[in-house]
Amino acid sequence: QKEVEQDPGPLSVPEGAIVSLNCTYSNSAFQYFMWYRQYSRKGPELLMYTYSSGNKEDGRFTAQVDKSSKYISLFIRDSQPSDSATYLCAMNWNYGQNFVFGPGTRLSVLP
Amino acid sequence: EAGVTQFPSHSVIEKGQTVTLRCDPISGHDNLYWYRRVMGKEIKFLLHFVKESKQDESGMPNNRFLAERTGGTYSTLKVQPAELEDSGVYFCASSPLSGPYNEQFFGPGTRLTVL
């Protein structure tokens, strides 16, 4: 079993749709949960950061962490073609330690 | 403020040759990480420097890989001799030693192709 599982997609949605991206993980020690967005031929850029369980909202993006289920989600409201990218979940257990990544979900938002 | 930079952006070499990748972290970031993504797989951790010291090199695949960080500034990752399975995208990331967010800033990556 992989440490972090993520549906690789590809996921295609029409512009304006609500997108739900998810990851599950096996290591209960993880405490920091990130969502990165990666455009083609670019490095990952941080979208959302969450510590422990709970929700966090930033504009059109909402991140949710359910540590009891070992399940994290990223919701994108009013999706735009510019949101088309690969979305990577990443997590670690202590500040400064390396991240463990999911394989990424490729999202296409169609105009 | 300049981000993490990596050089070269793309390298094509033959099996058995040597390649050196370079990473310049964000100024003032003492943490420096190397990651690698091979085709169809997730991004995987290689090693972690704190300043010039190797904090964790548990992800280094074998002794053909050698990483250095001169004076706690830029870092190099040398692959010698390169094998076909070393092909992939090598990312460098950096972060400060402390701060409000446990965030790593990634460079654009070096795409390595071993023929």
Q: What percent of chain A has pLDDT over 70?
A: 100
Decide if A96 and B95 are in contact by the 8 Å CB cutoff: yes
Sequence-distant (6+) residues with CB within 8 A of A7 are A22, A105
Looking at beta carbons, which residues of chain A come within 8 Å of B96? none
- Rounded to the nearest angstrom, the minimum Cα separation between A10 and chain B is 13
- Name the minimum distance, in Å, from the CA of A42 to any CA of chain B: 5
Supply the range of the domain harboring residue A42: 4-110
My answer on whether omega of the bond before B96 falls inside 30° of 0, hence cis, is: no
Those residues of chain B that have pLDDT short of 70 are 1
**Domain map of chain B by residue range?**
5-114
CATH fold, domain B5-114, is Immunoglobulin-like (2.60.40)
The predicted-structure confidence for A43-71, as pLDDT tens digits, reads as follows 999 999 898 888 999 999 999 999 999 99
Structural domain count of chain A: 1
Contact B45 A98 (CB under 8 A): yes
- CATH number, residue A33: 2.60.40.10
Query: What is d(CA B95, CA A106) in angstroms, rounded to the nearest whole number?
Result: 26
- Whose structure tokens read 């795409």? B111
